[in-house]
């Protein structure tokens, strides 16, 4: 796993056939600036679009490990010893996996 950047965009349009509020809202998540640019340009070109706010979000991307470094499977946690937890830090945080068999700790991203 590693930190990745994504963009969340909400496109609001006054074209709403079935909406009681008279507004259509479409929410999208894109993974690249090129995809975001394409959506923003399309929103600017559509006269029915009234707003298209977007925000940049850092998210952990990639597959979570299913085994500890010694090969034990990460089983479901308990109330006193969860299998995974979140450690905040200056970089944004780390996902921490704890093996209940051997007490090994795996931190992602490294």
pLDDT per residue as tens digits for the range 13-57: 887 665 455 668 889 999 999 999 999 999 999 888 889 999 999
CA atoms within 13 A on the CB side of 91: 13
Global confidence as pTM: 0.61
Tokens coding 30: 């894109």
pLDDT in tens, 83-104: 666 677 777 778 788 777 787 8
- 30 contacts 37 by C-beta, under 8 angstroms: no
Tokens coding 23: 């507004």
- Confidence at residue 82, expressed as pLDDT on a 0 to 100 scale: 56
Domain limits of the chain?
2-59, 65-110
| Residue 106: how many other CB atoms lie within 10 Å | 18
| Residue 44: how many other CB atoms lie within 10 Å | 10
- Confidence at residue 48, expressed as pLDDT on a 0 to 100 scale: 86
- Confidence at residue 30, expressed as pLDDT on a 0 to 100 scale: 94
> What three-state secondary structure class fits 37?
helix
- Confidence at residue 79, expressed as pLDDT on a 0 to 100 scale: 53
Q: Phi, psi (5° rounding) for residue 96?
A: -115, 125
- The pairing of beta strand 24-30 with beta strand 49-51: unpaired
């Amino acid at each position: 796993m590693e930190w990745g950047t994504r963009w969340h965009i909400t496109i609001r349009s006054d074209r709403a056939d079935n909406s009681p509020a008279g507004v259509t809202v479409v929410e999208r998540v894109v993974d690249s600036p090129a995809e975001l640019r394409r959506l923003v340009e399309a929103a600017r070109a559509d006269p029915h679009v009234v707003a298209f706010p977007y925000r940049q979000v850092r998210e952990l991307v990639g597959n979570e490990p299913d085994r500890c470094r010694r090969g034990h499977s990460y089983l479901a946690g308990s109330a006193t010893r969860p299998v995974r937890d979140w450690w905040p830090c200056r970089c944004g945080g780390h996902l921490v996996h704890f093996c209940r068999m051997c007490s090994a700790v795996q931190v992602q991203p490294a």
